[in-house]
């Protein structure tokens, strides 16, 4: 794959930031967003966008929810911005017409082969050992008892009972994915993000998570996507060495290790682990500090496989990291994580990244500078772009842990956010990253005591970032078309080309 455009992208829900797709297009085409973001990952806008899992449980993945707009609106946005959409490869809503037909007709339904049950994967029955080996991101077994055509079956539900796993290798499953790809290609979408693809292939006697058979599926799917002019980003939370293995076989992966390691470095004032990761991490990465799913932790921990290797952080360091997030957020993240709220996950802390750094503007901008100087495609989550605090009112209203990091903005609250110095500085930093042609090449990273330095060099221009991890003092120096420049205060004097 040819190296993609690596300018900064935004991650956002259309409704929570701008109301709908036309509103999002208008916002992205106006300043300061137009300079800051060359692309946008639009989180699920399918019917319904507000289901049991905020759109990740589509009833109809090929239909834009009419409350948000149409495929024509996405096609229009794709004329001015790099666009990315989710392809929820592992499951579909229990309310979909296909599954409801299976509920009514059971094995006689023409859609019966689209969905997975225990018996589909284990036709001869499963042993206790085989069932215990299955990996799931939440406690319990991935099965829900349901009546299909009057027959009681154990339906495969990796995430929630409202999200029914599909058989992506069946004729119906292949046709289903092709219909979604066709819509993406017709709308001019640049990337599809394969959501939950690590769970898509089930193999008896294994964890059924990122098994060897998953890679041929991703490769074959990627070829079908490219035939429609669409590239593929793989979304997998897993052990860092497995992530590196995955990266060697696919177009793009997320760097989910970066967020916890940046926090660890800024909490402890030590950068050895972060520097080590910068040296070995895959280059074909999408770099995030925050997403709609919170702050991932499992990606820096030890392998869960029998006899697996150590993590980038030890168990004790991971515990300290999680407690650090809770402490810096004043305990609010504790209320939204684990058994304290629904949407229970084993591998993340629900918290905005701004809160995770104690709402310290300069420390926050130092973290963002590290993200933007790290090689790859930077994506900034909308709550992070606006330096949002934890939304406790929304959490208490819904009881959904992830909603602490999924705020709603109206015109008034958006204008207030954009007027804040930390937000102005961050968006200026993103514009600098986009405009200075110094970020095309690889990076040189060094560590001197507590000072981490990352230098990027293009064909003509260069930029260098130095962050004292102990104090968050940050310096950026650069050479650009207007000559040399430098700043020692990103908040008061963000860099400009």
Written as six digits, the tokens of 158 are 């990796």
The response to whether 13 counts as a known ligand-binding position is no
The response to whether 292 counts as a known ligand-binding position is yes
The response to whether 261 counts as a known ligand-binding position is no
The response to whether 347 counts as a known ligand-binding position is yes
> Could you confirm whether 255 is annotated as catalytic?
no
**What string of DSSP letters covers 423-470?**
HHHHHHHHHHHHHSTT-SS-EEEEEETTEEEEEEE-SS-EEEEEEETT
The C-alpha atoms of residue 229 and residue 456 are separated, in whole angstroms, by 30
The response to whether 409 counts as a known ligand-binding position is no
Out of 86, 235, 335, 391, the active site residue is 235
The response to whether 242 counts as a known ligand-binding position is no
Written as six digits, the tokens of 21 are 């797709």
The response to whether 91 counts as a known ligand-binding position is yes
Out of 6, 20, 195, 361, the active site residue is 195
Chain length of the chain: 497
**What string of DSSP letters covers 91-160?**
EEETTSHHHHHHHHHGGGSTTGGGB-BHHHH-TT---HHHHHH---SSSS-SEEEEEETTEEEEEE-SS-
Q: Is 437 exposed, middle or buried (0-12, 13-18, 19+ CB in 10 A)?
A: middle
> Could you confirm whether 195 is annotated as catalytic?
yes
The response to whether 29 counts as a known ligand-binding position is no
The response to whether 402 counts as a known ligand-binding position is yes
CA atoms in the 13 A half-sphere facing the CB of 381: 22
Pairing mode of beta strands 348-349, 39-42: unpaired
- Comparing CA positions, the residue from 463, 492, 291, 263 lying closest to residue 363 is 263
The response to whether 235 counts as a known ligand-binding position is yes
With b for 16 or more beta-carbon neighbours within 10 A and e for fewer, the 174-212 pattern comes to bebbeebbebbbebbbbbbbbbbbbbbbbeeebbbbbbe
Q: What are the E-state strand segments in 179-313?
A: 191-195, 231-234, 252-255, 285-287, 295-296
How many other β-carbons are positioned within 10 Å of the β-carbon of residue 408? 13
The C-alpha atoms of residue 242 and residue 489 are separated, in whole angstroms, by 38
Q: Is 270 helix (H, G, I), strand (E, B) or coil?
A: coil
The response to whether 346 counts as a known ligand-binding position is yes
Annotated binding site: 53, 91, 193-195, 235, 292-293, 345-348, 402
Q: List residues with catalytic annotation.
A: 195, 235
Annotated binding site for substrate: 53, 91, 193-195, 235, 292-293, 345-348, 402
């Amino acid at each position: 794959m040819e190296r993609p455009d690596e300018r900064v992208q935004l991650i956002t829900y259309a409704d929570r930031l701008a109301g709908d797709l036309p509103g999002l297009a208008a916002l992205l085409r106006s300043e300061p967003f137009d300079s800051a973001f060359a692309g946008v990952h639009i989180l699920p806008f399918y019917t319904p966008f507000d289901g049991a899992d905020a759109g990740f449980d589509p009833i109809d993945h090929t239909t834009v929810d009419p409350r948000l707009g149409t495929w024509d609106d996405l096609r229009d946005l794709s004329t001015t911005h790099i666009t990315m959409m989710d392809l929820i490869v592992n499951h579909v809503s229990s309310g979909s017409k296909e599954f409801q037909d299976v509920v009514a007709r059971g094995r006689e339904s023409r859609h019966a082969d689209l969905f997975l049950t225990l018996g589909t994967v284990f036709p001869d029955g499963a042993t206790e050992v085989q069932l215990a080996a299955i990996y799931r991101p939440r406690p319990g077994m991935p099965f829900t008892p349901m009546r299909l055509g009057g027959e009681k079956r154990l339906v495969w539900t990796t995430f929630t009972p409202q999200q029914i796993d599909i058989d992506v290798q069946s004729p119906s499953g292949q046709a289903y994915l092709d219909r979604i790809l066709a819509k993406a290609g017709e709308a001019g979408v640049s990337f599809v993000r394969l959501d939950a693809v690590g769970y898509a292939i089930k193999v008896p006697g294994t964890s059924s998570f990122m098994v060897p058979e998953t890679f041929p599926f991703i490769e074959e799917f990627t070829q079908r996507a490219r035939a429609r002019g669409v590239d593929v980003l793989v979304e997998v939370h897993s052990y860092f060495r497995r992530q590196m293995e995955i990266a060697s076989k696919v177009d793009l992966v997320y760097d989910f290790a970066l967020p916890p390691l940046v926090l660890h470095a800024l909490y402890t004032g030590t950068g050895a682990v972060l520097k080590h990761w910068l040296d070995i991490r895959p280059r074909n990465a999408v770099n995030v500090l925050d997403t709609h799913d919170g702050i991932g932790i499992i990606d820096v921990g030890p392998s869960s496989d029998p006899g697996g290797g150590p993590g980038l952080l030890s168990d004790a360091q991971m515990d300290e990291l999680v407690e650090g997030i809770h402490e810096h957020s004043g305990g609010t993240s504790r209320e939204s994580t684990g058994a304290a709220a629904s949407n229970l996950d084993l591998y993340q802390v629900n918290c905005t990244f701004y809160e995770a750094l104690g709402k310290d503007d300069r420390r926050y901008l130092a973290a963002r500078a590290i993200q933007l100087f790290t090689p790859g495609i930077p994506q900034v989550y909308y709550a992070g772009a606006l330096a949002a605090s934890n939304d406790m009112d929304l959490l208490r209203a819904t009881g959904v842990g992830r909603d602490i990091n999924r705020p709603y903005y109206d015109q008034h609250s958006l204008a207030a956010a954009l007027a804040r110095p930390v937000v102005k500085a961050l968006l200026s930093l993103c514009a600098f990253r986009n405009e200075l042609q110094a970020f095309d090449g690889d990076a040189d990273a060094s560590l001197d005591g507590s000072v981490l330095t990352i230098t990027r060099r293009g064909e003509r221009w260069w930029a260098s970032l130095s962050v004292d991890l102990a104090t968050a003092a940050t310096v950026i120096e650069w050479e650009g078309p207007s000559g040399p420049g430098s700043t020692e205060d990103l908040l008061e004097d963000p860099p400009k080309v």
